[in-house]
Chains A and B, each alone.
Chain A
């Protein structure tokens, strides 16, 4: 028999399919990030797909489940870490290549073309950008999903947190 429909999330069919597919969607996003120098994609689209995994999780199960997997603090830290990693990779180019952002790995250890571990510094930049875009898009979505305006005692109040207040 079908279960009673909960107040958050979607129906049982959507939840089951999400439970099966979320790993594959995440893996697909990681694939697009990593193969960005060989096929279309790269940091931005891959990060968007990684974020859409969490968006799907939020839509099917409610925000507590997705915030349990990747909380707001961790997402913020990953965001900053991605940006700092990108700047670090670009700045290391000065040390070895001469100018900012130069492809120093390719100059030092040139690799065979069209393989996964080729093209020097580009996959590292892609990974950093993918991390950053994924984390920040998830944060944008979860904050805009949580924020809402409630009418309390005839006045409007902005609710920005997902915690349910015990006392009222």
Chain B
């Protein structure tokens, strides 16, 4: 089983370089290899679910060498990353036929991004986290500007500069920690921080690292790159970016740092909850004003990340449970929404709400799945979004902060309002500039694009099942990994 962990990182890296070597002649080879790879990764990630392991690379024990740590939180995120990547590769087989031509480079970059995300989730070493984060980020910068239109390149450049500045901040923080403690292992730094407390250099280093990860997770006021980058990417890449990238390299390191390494303090709790509330409200208020389908969804990503950080930042086990479950649900329904927008764009050629309309009759699968996803994200029972938002609101009340619960409910109502706008303009009614003549030849998308939509919609419908068992259930193992603070993490990795 321990070899499964390293295969999760090495297999997509190898296939990313193997596909350009042999895929030049035949057109279907990159598609087949890419889909087989992501399916194999999904099977491996499912096998690793809820296991615990520590893997020393090269046989060197921690803290001398690099270790890969698999615990409850890592296995949950691995499952999310590989599931959504499999859905996205299934979708992109047909999507790329119409819109883009160079499939070889697309699959190569895609698999590099998956390899980077898997590595970032699994690693127990700070510099290794930086390297995998950079692999995933650079692949995503290139994928955002994949079709080289003017706006896509502008969005890609903006994303590149802001993301690189954030990564440089993280590297500076890691360098400061190394100069202070002479070690790069996360558990070892946690051990030293527990023993000697925070002195000035450690405070500067932790602030730099936290700010770098706030930018990567797109929390307000560090969100400026997301509303431009996520709409400009091709639709399966938007699903990956919004669905897993901001979680695997943004939220996951924040949770790991805040709970296992720095130790949760009241200052950190107040910072995280206030950032969560601000992101939630500003995201949903900006989303109400948008007339571009994907830009609206991108603003909603910011808002839902605010919910997750609010849940994670409360500091109580119920709050962490709500935050992690909402992370899981959000990846399901947000990637479903972006894949829906991809199929709308594939069929109609536009994303502007004014020009679309009356798709409910012509594209039944797309409109049903969008309806399911919209009800999920707004928190309507019995879809999965309702359960996760309920747990977060209950956790706010349990932590005796009713003001936060009120903001969360308000955000949910406004989310429902903006998704009613989508339903009205695209599926049930029509936009102002709707062209009836052009609409006559719109029909449903091909089969391979329909399968991911159906699978994800079913998971959204029955997603509440994953909450059964609460703190002992599937999500609960992730909660356990965080709640036990640094002591159990250190003893697991270092043995002291």
Contact = CB atoms under 8 A, between A and B. Distances in A.
Answer whether A and B are interacting partners: yes
A100 B21 contact: no
B103 to A, nearest CB: 15
B18 A80 contact: yes
Contacts of A100: 3, 6, 10, 55, 57-58
A99 B6 CA distance: 9
A131 B57 CA distance: 24
Contact of A76 (B10, B13, B20): B20
Nearest to A103: B58
How big is the B interface, by class?
A: 10 to 19
Nearest to A79: B17
Interface string B208-249: 000000000000000000000000000000000000000000
Nearest to B14: A87
Contacts, number: 42
Nearest to B13: A87
Given A90-B10, A91-B10, A94-B3, A84 B18 contact: yes
A101 interface: yes
B59 interface: yes
How big is the A interface, by class?
A: 10 to 19
A27 interface: no
B56 interface: yes
Contact of B17 (A80, A99, A102, A103): A80
Contacts of A110: none
B21 A77 contact: yes
Interface in A91-133: 91, 93-94, 97-103
A101 B13 contact: no
A43 to B, nearest CB: 15
Contact of B58 (A76, A87, A93): A93
B7 to A, nearest CB: 9
A59 interface: no
Nearest to B104: A76
A90 B14 CA distance: 11
Nearest to B18: A84
Given A87-B14, A94-B3, A81 B57 contact: no
Nearest to B19: A80
Contacts of B6: 94, 100
Given A87-B10, A87-B14, A97 B20 contact: no
Contact of A101 (B3, B14, B20, B58): B58
7 closest A-B pairs by beta carbon, nearest first, are A83-B17, A101-B58, A80-B17, A100-B6, A102-B59, A80-B21, A87-B14
Given A84-B18, A101-B57, A103-B58, 11 more contacts: A80-B18, A83-B14, A84-B14, A84-B21, A87-B14, A93-B58, A94-B6, A97-B59, A99-B57, A100-B3, A102-B58
20 contacts: A76-B20, A77-B21, A79-B17, A80-B17, A80-B20, A81-B21, A83-B13, A87-B10, A87-B13, A87-B14, A93-B58, A94-B3, A97-B59, A98-B59, A99-B57, A100-B3, A100-B6, A100-B55, A100-B58, A103-B58
Interface of B: 3, 6, 10, 13-14, 17-18, 20-21, 55-59
